Amino acid sequence: MKTNYLLPQKFKTIGIVLLVPTLLMAILFLFYDFEFSFLDFRVFSIINDPIMGDAEHFKFIDDNITNELIAVFAILSLVFIAFSKQKVEDELVADIRLKSLLGATYINYLVLLFCILFFYNFTFMWVMMFNMFTLLLFFIIHFNFKMIQLNRK
């Protein structure tokens, strides 16, 4: 069976290799405010709405892009891990993949609904930040768990 839109198998390894330093950088950034000084750039922003001052549109601004790079690498590595082909990519794997995506979407939005109702202010901002990655994370966990179960049979 043809399964379209999946990445080649080697992308899973690339994703894992990319995820390790990204996670390290994310921990350093989140808990120690770590930023690489060589990543100070003048970047183009569509909307820049600082806490102090007025919003600016379509302007070049000065920014350290450490956090942007962490987010980009985290998304890329998770997408690579989630959507790369298995060694044998047949219709059963496609079925498991689809069910896992559905399961992960339900879990993700149940968690988000819970957080909307019970987490407020700055904590909710943290929730929204992590929510960028949790759908992919839940999918990877669910899918790989099902694949391990299948391979044991």
Partner 1 sequence: MKNSLKVERAKKDMTQAELAKLVNVSRQTINAIESGDYNLSTILALKISKVFQVNVNDIFLLEAKDL
List contacts with partner 1 (CB under 8 A).
1, 88, 90-93, 95, 150-151, 153
Question: 67 or 146: whose CB is closer to partner 1?
Answer: 146
Residue 151 CB, shortest distance to partner 1, in Å, is 6
List residues bridging with 5 in a β-sheet. Answer: none
Nearer to partner 1, 56 or 89 (CB): 89
Among 3, 5, 11, 4, which Cα is nearest to 84's? 11
Backbone angles phi, psi at 89, to 5 degrees: -100, 85
Task: For partner 1, give the closer residue by CB, 51 or 148.
Answer: 148
Closest separation between CB of residue 88 and partner 1, Å? 4
Distance of CA 90 to the CA centre of its chain: 26
Q: How far from 36 is each of 25, 64, 75, 77, 131, CA to CA, in Å?
A: 10, 8, 20, 20, 25
Q: How far is the CB of 2 from partner 1 (least distance, A)?
A: 10
Identity of the residue, 6 or 43, whose beta carbon is nearer to partner 1 in the bound complex: 6
Kindly write down the DSSP assignment for every residue of 83-105, as one continuous string: TBPPSS--HHHHHHHHHHHHHHH
Distance CA 36, CA 23 (A): 15
CB of 124 to partner 1, least distance (A): 41
